[in-house]
Chains A and B, each alone.
Chain A
Amino acid sequence: MPASRSRFLVAALAVACSFAPALAQNLDAISARQQLMKDNGRAAKTAAQMIKGDVAYDPAKADEVFATLHETAVKFGDYFPEDSKTGGKTEAAPAIWDKPDAFKAALAKFQSDTEAAMAKKPQDVDAFKQAFGMVAQNCKGCHQDFRVER
């Protein structure tokens, strides 16, 4: 009796240990990718404020906006391990794992569009508006297929 119970305890502990890090890794990946997207949102806000004229146009800030978006585009794809499909209020759609090639293509387009926008170094608000408009199409395009409201 005691022997079998302790065996049971060992087994239970082993299971608990093997779950705990996996669970933690899950939430880490989810919060890391959500943080990247929050940075995207902040960059988009700076962009919109300059386009609307609420804030004076500043080419240095414009460079920063595109650099932030490009950084997200490069890193974002690293945070979708198999064990992060659910949990942590994620809004990632199952399509990310079901159609990996389409998701990779969306990431690649976001990377090349942000890179092209950085290279333009827009000097006035009209040029910036145009460059940002092209980048912003990526937000909708990817959220249409790969994100769900919960």
Chain B
Amino acid sequence: MLKRGLIGLLALVVITAGAFWLLSAPQRLDAAALPAEGSGDAARGERLFWAGGCVSCHAPSSAKGDDRLKLTGGDPLVTDFGTFHAPNISPDPKDGIGAWSLADFANAMQRGVDPEGRHLYPAFPYTSYAHMRPGDIADLFAYLKTLPPVGGRAPDNELAFPFNIRRGLGLWKRAFMDGPGPIAALPADASSAVKAGQYLVEGPGHCGQCHTPRTLAGAGGLDLTHWLGGAPNPEGKGRVPNITPGGSEISAWSQSDIVEYLTSGFTPEFDSVGGAMVEVQQNLARLPDEDRTAIAAYLKAIAPVSD
């Protein structure tokens, strides 16, 4: 009796472990659909680099001027699940990503899988970058290769059980990775500016990572029924505001007020941008005017979420 029970339990453990292993396996991009190695254009990639805000996490905040382009890893990212350290992504062949192929890079950016097949944590916003066009990933990779290679590794993440088990992220991704295709449903006659803004906001700009609430008390995916509708601050203090046309503050802003905010950091009342948005705004200020106009047009066009 006891023996049968034990065998049954053992079988259950083996089956569960097997199912876990299968379901949590890394999913890579279809190699045939990737652009050719070396096909990227670095000049075009610079725009995606600023839209994507890579410096905010991969360079220390104390670095100024050209030192910002030394992507040796950034300030610790302190969250409810533990502390993450964004790694060295400079073109250093040993400590950075200098020895990576375009396919390695694309799989990290769009599937959250590193070259050894390990899952990456979604603190790296690849669920948004997954919406980027393959050609843009190639351009961004070409640009990163023009930056200075710097040695040195960031410290390991400090996470509590069970969040420290990378393999478990496979299950998280199955449940929460965005499907392909755009997030917000736009009217069929949306202007080309609105569509360009959609790509920038939902893809490289990863605005939803901060401005959209998450399911499962912050551990799940983005709650798309409240897309850009405001969320608790992931770093613990205060709130990230609602930026849909239903937001209590932004509803009174014109499209050009939003453009001005993204350009200079001043609101229509001449209050100044603060918190985590400062870095985002300073990155966006480096884009051409048409990109900020497109972002503002999109924010005006999406469905309002009430505050």
Q: Which bracket fits the contact residues of A?
A: 10 to 19
Distance between Cα atoms of A79 and B296 in the complex (Å): 37
Contacts of A91 in B (CB 8 A): 238
- Tell me the A135-149 residues at the B interface (CB within 8 Å): 136, 139-141, 143-144, 147-149
User: Could you count the A-B residue pairs with CB atoms below 8 Å apart for me: how many are there?
Assistant: 56
Q: B270 contacts which chain A residues (CB < 8 A)? A: 41-42, 44-45, 48
Q: Are B272 and A148 in contact (CB under 8 A)?
A: no
State whether A140 and B274 are in contact (beta carbons under 8 Å apart), knowing that A48-B266, A149-B240 are contacts in the complex.
yes
Cβ of A94 within 8 Å of any chain B Cβ, yes or no, is yes
8 Å CB interface, A19-45 against B = 41-42, 44-45
Give the distance in Å from the alpha carbon of A140 to the alpha carbon of B279 in the complex. Answer: 9
**SS of A interface (majority):** helix
B273 within 8 A of A: yes
- Are A140 and B272 neighbours in the complex by a CB distance under 8 Å? yes
Total chain B interface residues with beta-carbon distance under 8 A:
21
Q: Annotate B143-179 by CB proximity to A: 1 below 8 A, 0 otherwise.
A: 0000000000000000000000000000000000000
Contact status of A148 and B278, CB under 8 A, knowing A44-B272, A45-B270:
no
B4 lies within 8 A of chain A by Cβ? no
Closest 10 CB pairs of A and B: A143-B274, A148-B238, A139-B272, A144-B278, A41-B270, A44-B270, A45-B270, A147-B274, A148-B237, A140-B278
- 19 more A-B contacts (CB under 8 A) besides A93-B237, A150-B239? A41-B271, A42-B270, A45-B269, A48-B264, A48-B266, A94-B237, A136-B264, A140-B272, A140-B273, A140-B281, A141-B278, A143-B274, A147-B275, A148-B233, A148-B275, A149-B238, A149-B240, A149-B274, A150-B238
Report which A residues bind B (CB closer than 8 A).
Answer: 41-42, 44-45, 48, 91, 93-94, 136, 139-141, 143-144, 147-150
